[in-house]
Amino acid sequence: MQIEKKIDKNSRVALHYQLRDIIQEEIETGYLLENDRILSERELCNTYGLSRSTVRQAIQELEKEGYVYKCQGKGTFVAPKKYNQHLDKIYSFTEDMKHLGKKPVSMILDFEIIACNESIAKKFQIDTGTKVIHCKRLRMIEKEPVMIENDYVLYDRFPTLEKNDLEQNSMYTIFTEKFGVNLSSAEEIFEPVLIREAEAKQLNYSQNLPGMKIERITYENNRVIEYSKSIVRGDRFRYHVKLNNKG
């Protein structure tokens, strides 16, 4: 049902805030759905009796807050909802999406045994040239690409790991069920980045829009067994970190 609200020009609340709140409520109540086009600036001016600059300011506020996005020459649309991932434990992309009722899919773009270079060797604290398995995956939710993931795992710990394993199951499920791994800890580094051209094509996203680079090192006891580097679309995820006060 459309929100039947009017702009109160006698209110102390700025006009652009009032309009922003009306559109925001239409989105949050489901009157406007993901990727629906909202009224044009001209239509909003006529509907609410506002100036173009006031309407533009309200749209800019909504865009900053992630409620809408613009397509050049097409209009302004309701932004897709973001997936929340909680970072209070070692998490699996596949399992997290299943818990949200979504269907995660992994497309294997590359799978090979390689001699690691100096950079990768430092992550594992091993000698340059040691064998590791490299797997590059395109992670999708409901057929929408959202993440490019490059995984490196120790070949001597996972010598029978196969491409088919990773197409059917989460990596951590394979680690524990097939190889008896006891995942003891992991550390992650998050860094905002701009999506590059090649990444944009794979993610069906626009070049130079915000993204997130996530590097993860996973330990079995005190031994590094996995290093991963992922590029994530900035419009599809929110990360929730729980902090405890330990004095």
The CATH number covering residue 25 comes to: 1.10.10.10
Residue 235 lies in a domain: yes
- Do 112 and 214 lie in one domain? The reply is yes
Domain extent, residue 30, equals: 15-78
Single out the residue in 35, 58, 78 at which a domain terminates: 78
Residue 200 lies in a domain: yes
Domain count, the chain: 2
Residue 161 lies in a domain: yes
Cα 225 to Cα 217: distance, rounded to the nearest angstrom: 8
Joined together, the tokens standing for residue 207 give 């070049």
Pairing of strands 210-220, 223-233: antiparallel
- Do 53 and 96 lie in one domain? The reply is no
- Do 104 and 33 lie in one domain? The reply is no
| Per-position pLDDT tens, the chain of length 247 | 455 678 889 899 999 999 999 999 998 888 898 889 999 999 999 999 999 999 999 999 998 877 888 887 889 998 877 766 666 677 777 777 777 777 778 899 999 999 999 999 999 999 999 999 999 999 988 888 999 999 999 999 999 999 988 887 888 989 999 999 999 999 999 999 999 999 999 998 888 888 999 999 999 999 999 999 999 998 887 777 777 776 5
* Per-residue model confidence as pLDDT tens digits over 100-127: 777 778 899 999 999 999 999 999 999 9
Burial classification of residue 164, based on how many CB atoms lie within 10 Å of its CB (0-12 exposed, 13-18 middle, 19 or more buried): exposed
DSSP 37: B
Neighbouring residues of 10: CB distance < 8 A, sequence distance ≥ 6: none
Single out the residue in 36, 57, 78 at which a domain terminates: 78
- Do 90 and 195 lie in one domain? The reply is yes
- Do 62 and 181 lie in one domain? The reply is no
- Do 121 and 148 lie in one domain? The reply is yes
Q: What radius of gyration do the chain's Cα atoms show?
A: 23
Q: Is 153 helix (H, G, I), strand (E, B) or coil?
A: strand
- Do 166 and 233 lie in one domain? The reply is yes
Cα 51 to Cα 42: distance, rounded to the nearest angstrom: 9
Residue type, 22: I
Single out the residue in 47, 78, 109 at which a domain terminates: 78
- Do 24 and 95 lie in one domain? The reply is no
Q: Is 246 helix (H, G, I), strand (E, B) or coil?
A: coil
Residue 7 lies in a domain: no
- Do 64 and 107 lie in one domain? The reply is no
The confidence score (pLDDT) of residue 105 equals 84
Cα 176 to Cα 180: distance, rounded to the nearest angstrom: 5
The confidence score (pLDDT) of residue 4 equals 60
- Do 192 and 213 lie in one domain? The reply is yes
C-alpha distances (whole Å) from 44 to each of 47, 55, 198 are 5, 7, 37
- Do 188 and 95 lie in one domain? The reply is yes
- For helices 41-48 and 15-28, the axis angle rounded to 10 degrees is 110
- Do 130 and 72 lie in one domain? The reply is no
C-alpha distances (whole Å) from 149 to each of 152, 156, 212 are 10, 22, 12
Cα 94 to Cα 221: distance, rounded to the nearest angstrom: 23
Residue 2 lies in a domain: no
Q: The whole model's pTM is what?
A: 0.72
**What spatial distance separates the first Cα and last Cα of the chain, rounded to whole Å?**
50
Residue 223 lies in a domain: yes
Helix ranges (H only) for the chain are 15-28, 41-48, 52-64, 93-99, 118-124, 163-168, 171-179, 197-203
Residue 120 lies in a domain: yes
